[in-house]
Structure 1
């Protein structure tokens, strides 16, 4: 009986050693899975951006890739060594790339949605006098690096936009590691394209808090498109900001514009000259006298009071 139990224990120990031997031993120089996922995500975005750069600016492709290394605190040698190890262990690489592809697909779907809104306009904003028409995320983390220094949007108008709408873009900024100087302060800007002209406004964000840009026009006609961006210049030291609580409110005008006929305000010179005689003042017509007496009650004759005697 004891021999049988001893054999069972030996079997358990051998199985444990076997499982331990099957586990992949990762060197300390290899980037962990979670960090490698973030690195590869930014790496592929940087490569895609580099492919759009013209040949005369091809040096920027290298800068895009280097900005990824700086962002994650690694070197090109660290990245290359890790990729060699992952290539030798395809199971680990597959798991990492599955998550990277999911994130890239979600990003691509969001971009395609914005393009569809701009070109085909498959969706319309909600009707109403005061509606939030913001279509992007409501929180962004900006670090000032080339891949992570800008938030931009383009919003086409639809049938629920009116000619005299007010657009108010509101963002709350939170500086996470000190306030930048005025030269490196984030820029917030919005532009509205009308049928007749364009309105712009830009401001610098110098401290944490909520900033708002409002644009409105009475006589520029139909709204064609709304654009905006937040640009965070490169910083001397590592500083990051959060932009959250983002909204883009659209307000319909509640008053009415009266179009005055300018021709009706013009005075006929012939009518004036006809009543004018040299050396004689122009007399008011009877109808004008009547109106004047109504407007000036002090010029009316006062009624006389009757005196009565008591008997």
Structure 2
């Protein structure tokens, strides 16, 4: 019996040690890199600083000065920040989690400074109701780098019964680059297929930190069948050790039912239309046509001739 008790104790100890070992082997951020909570704080100040730096026009010198000010505030060297950012770019799921929280912090900060809902998100809080609906179903924030497979993000939306003829689409988002060296260059492509299988494609470069919009409107006679598109960050000519990153936030794809002005009634259109012309005659204003006799049977041939401007025939007795 004692041996059985020892065996059970030994087995329980083995399971405990195995659990500790499993927890200790769980992937974590290496100590030589900035940890997620601190990285979030640095990136928060970094984005605010870059917005200030670009407010009066972007220059390399101005951006560098603001970046160094952020590094000094957090007592982090520029080299450690760059290496840490490269690490997070190789582990995009960790960087994405940071930016989800970061996006909320930046939005709350904007609200505390008095920004309106329109300035914050351009239809960001619109639900599926009425004539204007945000139909974006993907993540509101994306992080792209020039290196596959995180250099692009595709999307597709199939139309349902809520789509109508004449719908207009408005894609909007905010872009911000974090670049060590090289050009800022990304593209957004959106292709809309309509009920007659025709397709309208819009293509736009993203080259700055700003609010971006793209509109597609095919008129009032076609119904949308399918929407496809992608965001793509271009690599260009650069060293593989140079990091480039693009963050896209506040992504919205708004479908708007455009109410076309109803046509005027026929009676009103006649008032503004060109005069009616008789065959071979002068223009006639409909409202200027003389009143006809109340009883057509009382009209004589002579009356009809006079109305047409034909003189009476001379009588035989004259």
User: What TM bracket, shorter-length normalisation?
Assistant: 0.3 to 0.5
The TM-score, its normalising length taken from structure 2, stands at 0.44
The TM-score, its normalising length taken from structure 1, stands at 0.45
Determine which structure has the larger helix proportion and give its number: 1
